[in-house]
């Protein structure tokens, strides 16, 4: 059996959706499936295990507004059509991308099964125009696609509620992203002492706040900047990349560590005091699940804290308004100051995450849907 995965970028781009796509492709291969992965050629494709299908695209929109939207050319469209025709089923990650729309139309034309994994709903941008465009696109494109696919998967219960309501208007499956338990797990023995970032001087009494994600507006970078400026008693360690440059904020308590390997990221989870992700328009960011598996307290934007109802007791949600970064920063500060997880609570959170979030189980669930077509509620 040959499964074609379609996403907007490859993992090297650094976003959560493409990381999920990569994990699932590797799981498909380990389960004996011939896995191919089509995505924009803007980033380095996977070099092993998965057959890469780089699509020649341009991506001017992300540079302008921070919203990734690769636009394929004629040659890329022909390549995508060829790969859809060769495959037995197509797995599409998120509806609102040109490559996703094309993959669905091609799969329908070639009578191939389509599984859509929907990661996000709306994004409340600070720009009124962008908010309106996003809302319109969800009405005109996303919702029709949700009803047109053979099987629909949500990775977040809040995204499911936002897009198809409660009770749901269409059949769906809720499959949570997995965690690599060989890398992301609590420290064995005493918690490690995290070394200060190179060329920085960090007081031993300062709490260390970790951010992991793309440096774009929707991740709440303006909120982080406002918080760091007002709270010199906190040290902010930033992991990621993107058009926004935290290193240019001129704040001595902000340290841009750039992209990090999974092992280095796990060491950070185990060595800092909390993860802060003041993002909007998210489903269930993978970094939250990885932090949970390491026993790290999490403060995140609502409604990501309710994406998995079983995990809500461990996730501190904050109302984030990108049009009011200072107010959002104050709410984050209040959440940080009130956060006090005992070691027994951290251990319980890690046990839950490691038992609940499993890549192999998610991959098996998706593969079942590629064979069975539309799922039942």
What is the distance between the alpha carbons of residues 30 and 368, in angstroms, rounded to a whole number? 15
Name residue, tokens 């004629």.
74
User: One digit per residue, pLDDT tens: the chain, 377 residues?
Assistant: 999 999 999 998 888 899 999 999 999 999 999 999 999 998 889 877 899 999 999 987 766 665 778 999 999 999 999 999 999 999 999 998 999 999 999 999 999 999 999 999 888 878 888 888 888 888 999 999 999 999 999 999 999 999 999 999 999 999 999 999 999 999 986 555 565 554 455 555 789 999 999 998 999 999 999 999 999 999 999 999 988 999 999 999 999 999 999 999 999 999 999 999 999 989 999 999 999 999 999 999 999 999 999 999 999 999 999 999 999 999 999 999 999 889 999 999 999 999 999 999 999 999 999 987 444 43
Is residue 119 a contact partner of residue 163, using CB atoms and an 8 Å limit? no
Neighbours of 333 (CB within 10 A): 17
Q: What is the CA radius of gyration of the chain?
A: 20
What is the distance between the alpha carbons of residues 184 and 350, in angstroms, rounded to a whole number? 9
Given this model, what pLDDT does residue 375 score? 43
Name residue, tokens 């696609």.
145
Given this model, what pLDDT does residue 188 score? 83
Given this model, what pLDDT does residue 373 score? 46
Considering only CA atoms, which of 357, 345, 202 is closest in space to residue 272? 202
pTM recorded for the entire structure: 0.87
Structural domains for the chain: 2-178+358-372 (3.40.50.2000), 207-356 (3.40.50.2000)
Residues 6+ apart with CB under 8 A from 323: 126
Given this model, what pLDDT does residue 61 score? 72
Given this model, what pLDDT does residue 65 score? 62
Helix H or strand E segment including 9: none
What is the distance between the alpha carbons of residues 194 and 270, in angstroms, rounded to a whole number? 8
User: What are the start-end ranges of the E strands in 206-364?
Assistant: 207-212, 234-239, 254-258, 274-277, 298-301, 315-318
């Amino acid at each position: 059996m040959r499964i074609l995965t379609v996403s907007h970028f490859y993992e090297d781009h650094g976003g959560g959706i493409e990381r999920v796509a990569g994990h699932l492709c590797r799981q498909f291969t380990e389960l004996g499936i011939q896995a191919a992965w089509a995505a924009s050629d803007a980033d380095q494709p996977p070099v092993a295990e998965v057959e890469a299908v780089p699509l020649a695209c341009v991506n001017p929109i992300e540079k302008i507004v921070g919203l990734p939207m690769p636009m394929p050319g004629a040659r890329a469209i022909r390549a995508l059509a060829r790969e859809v025709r060769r495959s037995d089923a197509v797995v599409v990650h998120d509806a609102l991308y040109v490559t996703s729309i094309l993959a669905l139309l091609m799969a329908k034309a070639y009578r191939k099964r389509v599984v859509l994994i929907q990661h996000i709903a709306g994004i409340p941008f600070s720009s009124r125009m962008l908010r309106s465009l996003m809302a319109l696109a969800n009405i005109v494109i996303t919702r029709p696609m949700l009803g047109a696919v053979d099987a629909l998967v949500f990775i977040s219960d809040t995204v499911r509620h936002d897009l198809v309501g409660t009770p749901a208007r269409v059949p769906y499956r809720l499959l949570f992203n997995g965690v690599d338990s060989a890398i992301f797990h609590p420290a064995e023995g005493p918690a490690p002492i995290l070394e200060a970032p190179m060329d920085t001087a960090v007081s031993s009494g300062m709490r260390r706040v970790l951010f992991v994600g793309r440096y774009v507006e929707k991740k709440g970078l303006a909120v982080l900047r406002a918080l760091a400026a007002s709270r010199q008693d906190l040290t902010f360690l930033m992991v990621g990349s993107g058009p926004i440059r935290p290193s240019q904020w001129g704040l001595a308590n902000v340290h841009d560590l750039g992209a990090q390997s999974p092992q280095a990221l796990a060491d950070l989870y185990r060595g800092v005091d909390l993860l802060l992700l003041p993002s909007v328009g998210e489903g269930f960011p993978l970094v939250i699940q990885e932090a949970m598996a390491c026993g790290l307290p999490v403060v995140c934007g609502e409604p990501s804290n309710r994406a998995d109802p079983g995990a809500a007791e461990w996730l501190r949600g904050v109302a984030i308004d990108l049009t009011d970064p200072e107010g959002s920063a104050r709410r984050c500060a209040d959440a940080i100051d009130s956060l006090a997880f005992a070691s027994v609570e951290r251990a319980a959170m890690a046990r839950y995450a490691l038992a609940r979030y499993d890549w192999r189980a998610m991959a098996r669930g998706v593969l079942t849907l590629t064979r069975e077509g539309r799922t039942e509620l």
